Structure formats: C-alpha cells, structure tokens
Chain A
Amino acid sequence: MRLRRLAVLLLALVPALAGCGVGSAAGPLRVEIVLHYSHYQPSTISIPAGRPVTFVLRNADPIDHEWIVGDAALHERHRTGTEAHHDARPTEVSIDALSTRETTVAFNAPATLTFVCHLPGHEQYGMVGTLTVTQ
C-alpha cells in the first residue's frame, strides 16, 4: 500500500513539474534571461564548465536587443563592429523586439565573462551582465 500511495503522489506531481519547465537531467541546463527596460534579468549568472547550457533569451521590450557573451577583447571589437544582426555564433545572438531566442553554449574552462547588448547606447544604459563559468 505504501508503494501505491507513493505512485499516486508522484503521478499527481507530474503536471506540476512539467509546468515548471524542469528539463531532463541529461540534457543541457536551461537558463532564462529576460530583457526588460533594456536590462538583463538576472544580470549575474553562474554556470558549470563543460556542460551545455541553453540560454532562453526573452525580449520583453518593444525594441531590438543583443546578447553577446565573451571577454573584454571581444566586446571591444563589437563596440566598433558593423554587423547589424547576429546569428552565426551561439555566443552572439540578436533578439528582435518582443521575441524569444534560444542558444546553447558549452564553456569548457572556468572564466569570468560579460554579456552585453552592443546596439547604440544600450551598453551605456546598463545592458551588461556577468557570466561566471565555474569548475
């Protein structure tokens, strides 16, 4: 009987777990970042090295944004770059107004990186976050 009760409780919990969007333990980690009022929420993220992470980038603003993650040298290049739309690299994503993009990245070594929107004025406005890759 104890086993039966346990089974019933687990069955009842299935819809709740599905609603929370919990992913498979074997698949990539999922991290949601909301872009709202031209800021990243959350703006500080920590992930483990070597494991794929799917970043769900939800742009809640009526203007376009970017999520470009990398080191200082990469961001310096983007500050003077001319690429209008980013789609070729998983660490550089353009997110149209009021839309959602997903990108999956695996960072193999510990590092402290930043993610920035390099559209004009957005970085200065505070559209900057920190991504810490831990061992």
Chain B
Amino acid sequence: MRRLITLLTATFVALFMTAGTTLACGGLIGPNGAVNLLRTTTFAGYHDGVEHYVTAFEFAGGGGAFGSLIPLPGVPSDVVKGGDWTLQRLVRETNPPVPEAVFLRAAAANDSAEVLMERKIDALDITVLKGGADQVGTWAKDHGFRLPPDAPEVLDFYAQRSPIFLAAAFNPTRAAARGQAIGDGTPVHITIPTPNPWVPLRILGLGKNGQERVDADIFLLTDHKPALLPSTDTPGLQLAHSAAATDLLLSDLRSDKGMEWVPSSAWLTKVAVGAQASKLTFDLAIDASGQAAPSRVAAGLAVPDLPAASPTDLARLVLGLAVIALGVLFIVGLTMWRPARGTLSQ
C-alpha cells in the first residue's frame, strides 16, 4: 500500500531579545514584579494529525513567580521536556535578522477551569487548562497572576475557537535548587492531536501597549508548500523564506530529543511578523493538506458556527411562547368580557 502522504507543519514563533534570537508564543505577565519573564520560545509542528509544539521559557531570576499562557488548538496527549537545539537550528537555517529587544509579559491562569494535565519540567510547572475566558482568567487570578487589561478580550478570542490553554510558571525554589541562571531556557515539547493546526499570533501582543511592536518569526515545515491565512501580503507579515528543506536540516532536526517524527522530505517556510500589537488581531492558519484552503476560523477572521439548538431548547422555546400567547389571550379576554345584563323588574 502506498505510503500515506505525510503532512508536517512546523511552526516556530520567535521574539527577539537583546543579543540573540528569542521566540515567543504566549502572553506573559509577572504578578508582583519580583520576577520578570524575559522571553518565551515556541515551536509547533504538524505530522499525521499530531501537532508537536516546543516552547522554551527563559528564567529571569528573582524570588517570585511568573507565568505564560498559551492557547492551543487541541487537548495535548503529552507534555515532556523538549529537545535542546531544534529552535536554534531552524533559525540558523534561514539566517534571520535580529530585531530590537522585546519584553513579553504574560498571563497565567487558575482553578475554575478544568485542569487536564499537570507536569513539572525542571523548574517549570506546566498546567493544561480547559475553559472559557472567565474560567481561565479566574484560574490565573487564584494562582496569583495579574492579567493585563486586554486579557479578557484576548482570552475570549481564543476560547471561542479552542478552550485549551497551557499555563507555565517557574517555581523559584526549584530554579534556585537547580542553579538556574538568568536567561537559561527550558524547552517544553507539547504533543497535540488536532486536525487543524494554527499558530497563535494575537497572544503575542497580550499586555502590550497597542503601539508597541511585535516581532516574531514563524517557521513552517510541511510536505507541500503550505497555504496560509492571512496571506503573507498582509501588512505586518512577510514571506522571508520558502524552499524545500535541505536533507541536512531535516537530519539535524530529527536527531534532536523528541524530534524523531520529522519526515524525510519537507517544505520550509518562514514568515516574519513585524506589526504594532494593536494591528495583530489574527492568528496564522495553515492548510497542510495540500487543499489550499486554510480556515478563516483558525485564523481568527471568523467565529465558529454556534451549535444548533437542541430539541430540549426548542421545546422550552415553544413552551415559553405558548405561555406568553395564553397570557395575552387571557388579558384580552378579560378586557373584552362583558357580563350578561339581566332585566330587573321593580
């Protein structure tokens, strides 16, 4: 039987800091200013219906806690420590420029949301949450994180499409015990079965002034040349690389920890993001199937269809309307009613 066509989408979202390449995928915020998250590094790949998401968090020191909140397209099947150099290798492959430093603050979340998974990876506490914006926001508040004022709208934006979020926070005690130095990154590999991969972009602007700039690099690795939405003609997006991935690159990626799934051939695309936070109101939808039909919903350009009303809902509606109609008839009847007039003989 002919081997199934492999679909692979590797997405790499990068924010650049002072002296080197940094990648960001989530909204970050510190609760008390005691610890500042300098940057977050993220990679997401799609292969045979499974998205592989690698995110690196950098420790910024201090004695408090901080967190990162990342919207995901589906419920992860596993969260493990990621490979050590996949992200750097991708960056080197395309020789990216180094933009100005960007400080990314984040939002973390808390308990009203359903906790689907918890993992400890080095000094990081990882929690996968399922819930709406209110639930995830409440979770964040209960866990001591102060969300920025744009968080309610941004969380709603994501929760309408996929109510799955990953919250990550450094445990300062474990970080100290590990001798973790400022700037040390901890890569995390998230495995997400999903039919519909997308890259969160809007979350990169969380907590930023609308005039602040978001700079990111997105790397896509697919079997075919991918179709993207929005297109790279969109202001703020630029197609920086589009070519068949070299055998050496694929071999190098495959040899990193947890990257055995990298196929033998693929197409490498790099999209550079450089936009004001207020303009970054969309995500990047990827059609890795070769059908050239990326989803407007996945891109955040359309809202998902509401579920059809259930028979129970319809029955309640009909009953409610019937009660109202009867009430109206009753009132009209009372106002029109005239008692029969008898004749009294004197």
- A127–B148 CA distance with the chains assembled, in angstroms: 12
Is B137's CB under 8 angstroms from A121's CB? no
Chain A, range 116-135, C-beta contacts under 8 Å to B: 117, 119-122, 124-125, 127
Chain A, range 42-76, C-beta contacts under 8 Å to B: 61-64
Query: Does chain A have a CB within 8 A of B118?
Result: no
Is A63's CB under 8 angstroms from B335's CB? no
Is A62's CB under 8 angstroms from B141's CB? yes
Is A63's CB under 8 angstroms from B209's CB? no
* Chain A residues near B137 (CB-CB < 8 A): 61-63, 97
Is A63's CB under 8 angstroms from B338's CB? no
Cβ-neighbour of B151 out of A36, A63, A98, A127 (below 8 A): A63
Is B149's CB under 8 angstroms from A97's CB? no
What residue of chain A has the Cβ atom nearest to residue B331's Cβ? Answer: A12
What residue of chain B has the Cβ atom nearest to residue A65's Cβ? Answer: B149
Q: Shortest beta-carbon distance, B206 to chain A, in Å?
A: 11
Query: Does chain B have a CB within 8 A of A9?
Result: yes
What residue of chain B has the Cβ atom nearest to residue A122's Cβ? Answer: B149
* Chain B residues near A8 (CB-CB < 8 A): 331, 334-335
Chain B interface helix/strand/loop/mixed: helix
Is B147's CB under 8 angstroms from A63's CB? yes
- A35–B155 CA distance with the chains assembled, in angstroms: 16
Chain B, range 128-177, C-beta contacts under 8 Å to A: 133-138, 140-141, 146-153, 155-156
* Chain B residues near A98 (CB-CB < 8 A): 134, 138
* Chain B residues near A12 (CB-CB < 8 A): 327, 331
Query: Does chain B have a CB within 8 A of A38?
Result: yes
Hey, what's the 0/1 contact readout for A12-30 against B, CB within 8 Å counting as 1? 1000000000000000000
Contact A37/B335 with A64-B141, A98-B138, A124-B209 known, Cβ cut-off 8 Å: no
Interface size grouping (class) on chain B: 20 to 34
- A85–B327 CA distance with the chains assembled, in angstroms: 48
Chain A interface helix/strand/loop/mixed: loop
* Chain A residues near B140 (CB-CB < 8 A): 62
Is B334's CB under 8 angstroms from A62's CB? no
Q: Shortest beta-carbon distance, A123 to chain B, in Å?
A: 9
Contact A36/B148 with A1-B338, A8-B331, A62-B138 known, Cβ cut-off 8 Å: no
What residue of chain B has the Cβ atom nearest to residue A13's Cβ? Answer: B331
* Chain A residues near B156 (CB-CB < 8 A): 37
Query: Does chain B have a CB within 8 A of A5?
Result: yes
Is B149's CB under 8 angstroms from A38's CB? yes
Q: Shortest beta-carbon distance, A81 to chain B, in Å?
A: 17
* Chain A residues near B334 (CB-CB < 8 A): 5, 8
Cβ-neighbour of B149 out of A1, A9, A63 (below 8 A): A63
* Chain B residues near A97 (CB-CB < 8 A): 137-138, 141
Hey, what's the 0/1 contact readout for B333-345 against A, CB within 8 Å counting as 1? 0110010000000
- A91–B170 CA distance with the chains assembled, in angstroms: 39
* Chain A residues near B141 (CB-CB < 8 A): 62-64, 97
Hey, what's the 0/1 contact readout for B298-324 against A, CB within 8 Å counting as 1? 000000000000000000000000000
- A120–B207 CA distance with the chains assembled, in angstroms: 11
What residue of chain A has the Cβ atom nearest to residue B153's Cβ? Answer: A37
- A106–B133 CA distance with the chains assembled, in angstroms: 36
14 pairs, CB–CB < 8 Å, chain A vs chain B: A5-B335, A12-B327, A36-B152, A37-B152, A37-B156, A62-B134, A62-B140, A62-B152, A63-B137, A63-B149, A98-B138, A119-B149, A120-B146, A122-B149
List 8 tightest A-B contacts by C-beta distance, closest first: A62-B137, A38-B149, A125-B149, A61-B152, A37-B153, A62-B134, A122-B149, A5-B335
